[in-house]
Amino acid sequence: MISPAPSIHVASIEDDLVALDLENDAYFCLPGLGRHLVDAGDGQWTASNAVIADGLLETGLFQTAVSHRSAPAPSSAVQTSRRYEGPSPGRMAVVTLATITARKAWRIHGRPLKALIARSPNLPLRHEQTAEAMADARLFDHWMPWVPGQGQCLYRAYLLRAFLASRGRGATWVFGVRTWPFSAHCWLQIGDVLLDDDLDRVALYTPIMAVGA
């Protein structure tokens, strides 16, 4: 049995294995290795043979098995705030969003993912406030075209999570990957509710890490 090394997150996608290295701010795709690994739970993986296990240990991406309670995998999203048609949050929410954007937008570009995660407020999920969070995310979606760099998923997710936190709402920050061609994406969820993204797009990605699950 082997486990991902500290600061390494992995996902098996069909025959391939993808690793996210937070320390080096990099993704690695290991073609063909996915078929040789089975997720045994509690942060442990079973390799099909000793040669595969030893090879992965030598890469530094894995270590000898360490058991720990893994965060639950994020739920598959079934609805999105982009279809929300309820009441808007009101003027004070607009003021708060403008303030958050002015204070935090400039801090995002060029910073490694690990630093952004450390700076992102990690509030508990409050499912009873999901409708209010959807309203906040809808407001955010309308606001973003006026903000430079708004098309980048990391930029949007970081700012939206900060805005939600200022309103007393937590959200799970999900990072996903796909292969052939390789692509990485991130988004926010509360349970099975997707915030500020499209269901069809996130369905293309396999979660590799969830912050605040």
**Per-residue pLDDT tens for 178-204?**
999 999 999 999 999 999 999 999 999
25: left (phi over 0), alpha (psi -120 to 50) or beta: left
* pLDDT at residue 10, rounded to an integer: 96
* pLDDT at residue 37, rounded to an integer: 95
Which residues are within 8 A (CB) of 148 and not within 5 positions of it... i.e. 6 or more apart?
Answer: 105
Rounded Cα distance, 16 and 11, in Å: 9
Single pTM value for the model: 0.93
* pLDDT at residue 183, rounded to an integer: 96
Rounded Cα distance, 175 and 12, in Å: 14
- Provide the 8-state DSSP code for 46: E
Beta bridge partners of 194: 80, 189
Rounded Cα distance, 13 and 28, in Å: 13
In the block, tokens 């607009």 appear at 94
* pLDDT at residue 42, rounded to an integer: 85
Q: Chunk the chain into consecutive blocks of 10 residues (it has 213) and report each block's average pLDDT, rounded to whole numbers.
A: 95 96 97 94 92 95 82 86 91 94 86 96 94 96 77 90 97 97 97 96 97 86
Beta bridge partners of 193: 79, 190
> 64 with 4: CB under 8 angstroms?
no
> 166 with 93: CB under 8 angstroms?
no
Q: What's phi and psi for 160, nearest 5 deg?
A: -65, -40
> 138 with 193: CB under 8 angstroms?
no
Structure tokens at 182: 């390789």
* pLDDT at residue 198, rounded to an integer: 96
* pLDDT at residue 145, rounded to an integer: 80
* pLDDT at residue 106, rounded to an integer: 83
> 197 with 187: CB under 8 angstroms?
yes
* pLDDT at residue 149, rounded to an integer: 63
- Over residues 3-12, the pLDDT tens digits come to 999 999 999 9
- Provide the 8-state DSSP code for 140: H
